[in-house]
Amino acid sequence: MSSPLKAPIAKSKSLSTIKSVIPVGSIVHSFLLYDGNLEVELANSKRFLVSHTNKYVNFEFWECLQRDPERVSLIANHFSPIESDNIFDVLQKEWPKYPDPFVRSAMFYLLNQSSDLGYISSGKLIENKELKRNIIKLKSFVSENLHIQFDQEENFIDSIKNINNKCDYVFLPVRNFSFNFLEDGKSIGFEQTRVIHRDLKKFIDNTDKKVILLYNYSKQVINLYKDNNIKIIDQWGRCTEVTKFAKEVLIANF
């Protein structure tokens, strides 16, 4: 079963390449958990995933979904569809104020499904013709090898450093990349995790942990990580050296 959440970025084609780097049976600590598409796929393919987030709203959604997916589905069905732009705008700002965690989780799901950006706190309302069917599918969600962990550290790099149980690999689906320093102080949503790419580069070069990063392809990414092992992935999910068709980049420090 795949993740019930819509990815804010085009769905990754990198899964087969990631699985070629991370063997079956590996214990993987992933970070930056949000939509969980790659994490669920890896967990369902006999890798053991401990998926970390320091965003409580993300942790709460996945925790509630694993505890009682039918309850999340029933509440989402009760509130769907979101009927107007005004209601959507209000919910984007106010949904964390609902007192019940399962109601918050259902709203988290509906906002993700109804946003053109796939985020909870940003984007415009769109019609999702598959929403009713997706809500029904939500009832049967299960991913036995996926374990969710809430980290107290404000900086996720500190959370990686503090892993104290077995870890074969660390995986971060970073995807977006920017060196725009104006974005450092830019407001982001409840569900988004800020990544300082130069700090991440410094960390992977100085840790003894095996770290794998996934980015969307750009020359800036290649230049920043040129000293690491790089696999370029095309639009069909194949490794390539032809940058004309490059879509993603898998980077490893081993």
Q: What's the CATH number where 217 sits?
A: 3.40.50.150
**What is the residue-level pLDDT of the chain in tens, covering all 254 positions?**
899 999 998 889 999 999 999 999 999 999 999 999 999 999 999 999 999 999 999 999 999 999 999 999 999 999 999 999 999 999 999 999 999 999 999 999 999 999 999 999 999 999 999 999 999 999 999 999 999 999 999 999 999 999 999 999 999 999 999 865 544 556 688 899 999 999 999 999 999 999 999 999 999 999 999 999 999 999 999 999 999 999 999 999 99
Please indicate, yes or no, whether residues 159 and 235 belong to a single structural domain of this protein. yes
Please indicate, yes or no, whether residues 131 and 106 belong to a single structural domain of this protein. yes
Please indicate, yes or no, whether residues 47 and 121 belong to a single structural domain of this protein. no
Please indicate, yes or no, whether residues 223 and 185 belong to a single structural domain of this protein. yes
- Asked if residue 60 belongs to a domain, the reply is no
pTM of the predicted structure, to 2 decimals: 0.94
- Asked if residue 22 belongs to a domain, the reply is yes
What was the pLDDT predicted at 182? 45
Please indicate, yes or no, whether residues 43 and 94 belong to a single structural domain of this protein. no
What was the pLDDT predicted at 181? 52
- Asked if residue 116 belongs to a domain, the reply is yes
Please indicate, yes or no, whether residues 129 and 168 belong to a single structural domain of this protein. no
What was the pLDDT predicted at 185? 53
Please indicate, yes or no, whether residues 240 and 151 belong to a single structural domain of this protein. yes
- Asked if residue 124 belongs to a domain, the reply is yes
What was the pLDDT predicted at 187? 67
- Asked if residue 231 belongs to a domain, the reply is yes
Neighbours of 164 (CB within 10 A): 6
Please indicate, yes or no, whether residues 90 and 134 belong to a single structural domain of this protein. yes
Please indicate, yes or no, whether residues 100 and 180 belong to a single structural domain of this protein. no
- Asked if residue 5 belongs to a domain, the reply is no
Domain that holds residue 168: 15-55+143-252
Please indicate, yes or no, whether residues 124 and 105 belong to a single structural domain of this protein. yes
Domain boundary among 88, 104, 138: 138
- Asked if residue 129 belongs to a domain, the reply is yes
- Asked if residue 151 belongs to a domain, the reply is yes
**Number of domains comprising the chain:** 2
